[in-house]
Amino acid sequence: MEESDLLKSQGFQVLKEINQGAFARIFLVNNPELGIVAAKVFKNEDFNTEEWDTAGILSKDPTQICPFINQSILAKQFESMTVIFMDYCNMRTLFDLIKTQKDIPIPVIRAMMKQILEGIRYIHSKGIIHRDIKGGNILLHSPPGSGKVILKISGFDIVQIQEHIGKEMMMDVAGTTPFMAPEFHKEDDQGQTLADEKVDIWSAGILFHQLITHSFPFKSPKQVDITQFIEAKHLERPDLIKDNITWDLLTKMLSFDRKERISAENALHHPFFTGEQAKAEILPSAVQLAKAALEALQKVDTTVTLFDADASFSVPLVEIQKIIGMVDPEADMTLLQSKISQPTDSDKFEQKK
């Protein structure tokens, strides 16, 4: 295995392969200098330099500013491959939750969507358009002992950096078809279209629809059904969405006209998140997590953020365990630690950004 051999030659112990995508393979690795991290290995011809440019833009702020992004730590380019080292997220992805087809309580969906939209709001404020928001690119992480789950946006392989923040621009059509905004279905002869950051809001709206209904807003994820939906410009209200406030936000996120589509900033101020009903439905376990986080903040615990102390952002681990089973991040970390071999002098890794 060429990729794992490269990692081993650089002093990394390969613990396991996490994922294999269209452009990269991701491994869980350990090194004395970095600890346990995820290593994303590309062939040089598949590496989008804007992904690393994005990491540079986002790294200017401390993680506490927006913990809902899976941070890249450093990158190294070799003769035929490039490796990006990223924070390791110890649970599964949002796709894994969705594919269980189990009902997720609205208070949990609300907190998850709030984390996702805050992550999107943050990258948009930096002029970064993700272009591939989907369940598989939303990682779940539970800091051992925290009792909470943090959703982190990952998969910046096809990111677009805006020349002028918030302004429309010509860009290549890219993404995963069922999550692509209507404007990405109108490319010119060069495969480009006029679009802006609102393509990510559409994708997040599709996710929102999936979390509530276990389905897409079109008959099937086949191209013919997606095209029919886009051309008809009609979003049918599912029977499962009985609440008018929820439906209002979803229709604003899935507006076929990008100029009418709600922004991440405005979505976060929508009554679905800020109304009296939203406040009343916050889970008691989420309130307890926020209370513990506030006490930790008062003790100057730098691992805790202001978002942790806000119960409206809290996703209790126990709620996720009800959906995907009794995952145990602490036990998993103990198991990983047991696999780590003792470092030798040759294992030292010189960090080069």
**Do 162 and 179 lie in a common domain?**
yes
- Domain assignment present for residue 288? The answer is no
Q: Is 292 inside any structural domain?
A: no
In-domain check, residue 311: no
pLDDT averaged over every residue in the chain: 93
Joined tokens for residue 204 = 């997040």
253 CB contacts (<8 Å, ≥6 apart)?
201, 202, 204, 205, 208, 261, 262, 267
User: What distance in Å separates the CA atoms of residue 24 and residue 5, rounded to the nearest whole number?
Assistant: 15
CA dihedral (277, 260, 160, 62) in degrees, to 10, reads -30
In this structure, is residue 299 part of a structural domain? Answer: no
Confidence at residue 349, expressed as pLDDT on a 0 to 100 scale: 52
From the CB of residue 33, how many other CB atoms can be counted at a distance below 10 Å? 13
Residue that terminates a domain, selected from 247, 280, 313: 280
In a domain, 301, yes or no: no
Residues 77 and 210 in one domain: no
What domain range is 34 assigned to? 2-87
The residues, ordered by sequence, that sit 6+ positions from 173 with a Cβ below 8 Å of its Cβ are 180, 184, 185, 187, 191, 192, 193
Identify whether residues 195 and 231 lie together within a single domain. Answer: yes
User: What does the DSSP 8-state code read for residue 34?
Assistant: T
CA distances to 97, 98, 240 from 93, in Å: 7, 9, 24
The one catalytic residue among 87, 132, 196, 308: 132
Tell me, yes or no, whether 214 and 271 share the same domain. Answer: yes
The whole-angstrom separation of Cα 158 and Cα 156 is 6
Can you read off the two tokens belonging to residue 45?
A: 């011809």
Are 265 and 133 in a shared domain? Answer: yes
Q: Do 77 and 99 belong to one domain?
A: no
State which of 257, 280, 303 marks the end of a domain.
Answer: 280
User: How are beta strands 160-161 and 128-129 bridged, if at all?
Assistant: antiparallel
Sequential pLDDT tens for the chain (353 residues): 689 999 999 999 999 999 887 788 999 999 999 999 999 999 999 988 898 899 999 999 998 999 999 999 988 999 999 999 999 999 999 999 999 999 999 999 999 999 999 999 999 999 999 999 999 999 999 998 899 999 999 999 899 999 999 999 999 999 999 999 999 998 888 889 999 999 999 999 999 999 999 999 999 999 999 999 999 999 999 999 999 999 999 999 999 999 999 999 999 999 999 999 999 999 999 999 999 999 999 999 988 999 999 999 999 999 999 999 888 888 888 888 888 875 555 555 544 44
Q: Comparing C-alpha atoms, which of 74, 214, 98 is closest to residue 151?
A: 98
pLDDT of residue 310: 98
103 is annotated as an active-site residue? no
> Are 43 and 139 part of one and the same domain?
no
Residue 68: which CATH number?
Answer: 3.30.200.20
CATH number at residue 211: 1.10.510.10
Same domain, 51 and 150: no
Q: Is 217 found in the same domain as 171? A: yes
Number of domains in the chain: 2
Q: Are 245 and 271 in contact (CB under 8 A)?
A: yes
Residue 336 lies in a domain: no
∠ at Cα 73 (68, 78), nearest 5°? 135
Phi, psi of 82 (to 5 degrees): -120, 140
Q: Which of 280, 309, 331 is the last residue of a domain?
A: 280
Query: Is residue 289 situated within a structural domain?
Result: no
Say if residue 200 is in the same domain as residue 172: yes
pLDDT in tens, 81-90: 999 999 999 9
* Whether residues 23 and 149 fall in one domain: no
How far apart CA 121 and CA 264 sit, in angstroms, is 5
Residues 83 and 118 in one domain: no
Block residue for tokens 């800091």: 143
